[in-house]
Structures are given as C-alpha cells and as structure tokens.
Chain A
Amino acid sequence: MKQPAPASLEQCALQNGPIHRIDPALKLLMMLAFECCVISCAPEQICLLPVYLVALLIIGTIARISPGLFFRRLALALPFAFFTGIWGCFYDHYPATLMGFTITRGELSFLSILLRTALCVGCVLIYAGTTRISMMAAGMRRLHIPQEIVSIFELMWRYLSVLTDEARNVRTAWMLRNGSANGISLKYFGSLLGGILVRSIDRAQQIHTAMICRGYPAASRAASPSKIRPAECIGAAAFTASCILYRVLA
C-alpha cells in the first residue's frame, strides 16, 4: 500500500532517510555554516547564491521532503523579506549590473534579500523536516547549549500547538453563534484574544503538570542520539568545507 505523503514537517521528520540519520548536532552545525555563508554574500555576489540553491534542492530531494509542503512553508516567510527589501528599490537608484542587465542597486539588494531569505528559511525547513523535536533538543545539548535555552525551545514548540488549538476552538465557538459573520469583529477581538490567552495558560499548566508527572525535566535525558560515526563526521566536514571554500574562493 502506498504511504500517504507527510502532511507536516513533523511527520516528515519521522521518516528514516539518509539525511534523517545524520547526527542532529552535526546537522545543526552544517545548517549554521550554510547560513553564515549565504548571509555573508553581499548583494553584488548574488551570482554565488544559485549554487547554494541547487545544493539545498538536492538535499531536500534526498531528504524526501514534499516540494508542495516545502514551498508552502517557504512562502510564509517570503512576505517579510519582500517588505524588508522592497524599500531599497525606491531609495537606491545607483546603477548596478546583474548577468549583463543594468538594474538599480536597490533592486539588486532586493533580489539578494529575497534569495538569501529563501535559502536560510529553506535550510531551516529541511532541518525541521529531517530531525524530530526531541532530537533537535538532544543535538543542542550535545553542543552544550545551556539547558535553559533548550527547555525554552522545547516548551515553546509544545505550547505553540496549545495556542493554535485554543484559538481554533474560540473561533469555532464564535462562528457558531455568528453564522452570518465572516470574521471576528474588532469590537470583540480584544476580549476573545484575552480569553484565548487565559485558556492557553490553563492548558499549558496542565501540560506542564503532565510532563512533570513523567519525570520532566530530568537531569540527563536519554533522547540523546547514538554515537557520532566517523563517516558522519567526514560527510559533515566535507559539506561545511565545500560551503565555506565556495564562498571564499568563488
């Protein structure tokens, strides 16, 4: 029977592909190296970015992340980059060239911001789609990131779903008593938002209690990935070195 495609990145992360099996700490380091290389490209070096894009798409394909899911999530981040970068087009009219075409420096900067954002967010999406939350946290611990930060990361992830659930319930209850209305009117928005917050805090407390009942936070959690294999280290080092060398030498 054909397996249904994963509906979320969390479900993608449960698969067992070659990228999934890489140690989460190594993946985190590789991601950081990749992002540093991408971010450090000046707008004039935009021609370097397509190579990183190709690398990202190849990794995404090997990781078996559904393109639809990947691009839908990516599209959520791009408006922020769009509104950040678009202003340069209005203010910086100094001429620049891109692949033989003459454009303004503002436009070049805009394209560079869009592309760099897409690459960085795409890289994070691939990391999220190939690493379970518990493994991400374990990877952070392996890198000696302070326990407080790791706990905040874990709890934020868990409470995000609580907040979404509560918001959905309140919206449904509102819609059921407001059949003709299309959305929540501003008049009631504040009190509904307050209600959602209070209910979320209640539920978050319940969830925290349930976590404590099952031993959270333990001094040392065993969600630690198995030992890093030499092949993983070599692969990660090769990837990181390629990213950096390409950035420095190209």
Chain B
Amino acid sequence: MKLTLSGLTLAYPGQPPVLNGIDLQIESGETVALMGANGSGKTSLLLSLVGILPASGTIRLDSTALSKKTATFFRQHIGMVFQNPDDQLFSPSIWEDVAFGLENMSLPEDEIRDRVDTLLHELGLAHLKDRTPHDLSGGEKKIAALATVLVMKPDLIMLDEPTAFLDMRARKRLENALRDIPQAMLITTHDARFAARMCRRAVLLDSGKVAADGETETLLRDKALTERCGVDALE
C-alpha cells in the first residue's frame, strides 16, 4: 500500500485555503504523526483522504486515484477513527457498531460474526459486546471506536486526536492496542510525547501547508519550528 498526495488543496469560497498544496507519501506499515495548531487543517486533510471533503489535487492509493467512483474503494482501504467516539458509535450495541462496516462490505453473516467476535476478544471488549455505547467509559469508547475500523482490515488507519480526553490508564491501554496494529497509521495529535512514542515520522502543518516532514524526535525538539507550528516541543 502506498498513499500519495500531490498538490492537495481545499478552500471554501471567500476564505483562505484550509489545505494549500499538500504533498505527502505514506508507505505500508508506516506510523506518521500529523501535528499542527488548531485550525491548521489536520482533520480536513483526513476527511479529504476518504473523499468526504472535496479537495483539488491528486490522492492515489497505489495506482487508484480518488474520485467519486472510487470513493467506496478508498473508504474500504482507509479507515478513520473520529476524535469524539460518540460520533463513531451510534448503534444500540457495541457488537452491532463493530459489525456495521462489515455489513456495508456485503460480507457473509458468518464471516461478520467471526471477525467481530475475534476482534472484540483481542481488544478485551468481548464482555462489553451487548452494552450500549453510552454506558462505556471514555477509554472503552475509544477502543470500541478503534475496533469499528480495525474490523474492516483497512490498509491505512487514520486516528483523529486519539488521546483526547483520556486519562493516563486509558491512554496506555489505547497505546498498547495501537502498537499491535500492523497497518500504516496517520495520527493527528497535540500530544508531543505520545507522538514521539508512537510515530517515527511526523508531519507538521502550518496554515494548511506542510511546514516540516521528518523524524518525530528531531522535529519536536526544534523549538523555533514547534513555536511556528503551534505545537508542544519535546523537553
């Protein structure tokens, strides 16, 4: 799997562009942190990659370019975990929520059952499968939201602020779950230490442009760069 973005631009009429000529490549198995100040275009970039926001420029997954016709293909191969798990979990039970994506993929019922049960067991959520999402703690909701995407076995998983609102224990549990994921990941975060622990590579955005792309530790120790991009520096 190779995701290639060239000249990605997104603008709303009468406003400065949210994304301004982004060039980026993500290879199979890579974990990349996408960092920047609030409003720098992180979430917009993620939503553009699955065709939710109509950006100009080219987005390619291997040799397939994103278009209206291929949007479904992209959504099957690129999964997105939203910042607020309440937006992601909308079914009456966790089991049904995790099965939702597979049902849309038209898989046979037996396979859906197998995949959902196995994943819930692996993530330690099996005992919660019949619970309504509202009953879960913040940490459990985050893991459940991750499960809804993991079960579809995408090539790239995008996580929007995965550690937001989590306490230390829930963060560790989420980190452990993320470490076991073999797929490529694109993680937006404001948490510099989390980014340094999880991602070897970071991309820093500033006003819709890529301000820096390189090794996470190196970039986040550059005080001038982090100051300019509005992200926390590593101590």
Contact = CB atoms under 8 A, between A and B. Distances in A.
B87 A203 contact: yes
B52 A218 contact: no
Contact of B109 (A14, A132, A219, A224): A224
A56 interface: no
Interface string A109-135: 000000000000000000000001110
Given A221-B106, A222-B106, A222-B108, A10 B92 contact: yes
Interface string B95-112: 110011111111111001
Given A206-B82, A215-B72, A158 B108 contact: no
A209 B80 CA distance: 10
B148 A214 contact: yes
Interface residues of A, number: 33
B122 interface: no
A158 B107 CA distance: 23
B87 A210 contact: yes
Contact of B82 (A133, A134, A210, A222): A210
Interface in B64-123: 72, 75-76, 79-80, 82, 84, 86-88, 90-93, 95-96, 99-109, 112
A134 B109 CA distance: 12
A132 B88 CA distance: 19
Majority SS of interface residues in chain B?
helix
A209 B83 CA distance: 12
A214 B152 contact: yes
Nearest to B82: A210
B132 A218 contact: no
Given A8-B132, A215-B76, A226 B90 contact: no
Interface of A: 8, 10-11, 13-14, 132-134, 158, 161-162, 165, 203, 206-207, 209-226
Interface of B: 47, 50, 52, 72, 75-76, 79-80, 82, 84, 86-88, 90-93, 95-96, 99-109, 112, 130, 132, 134, 148-149, 152
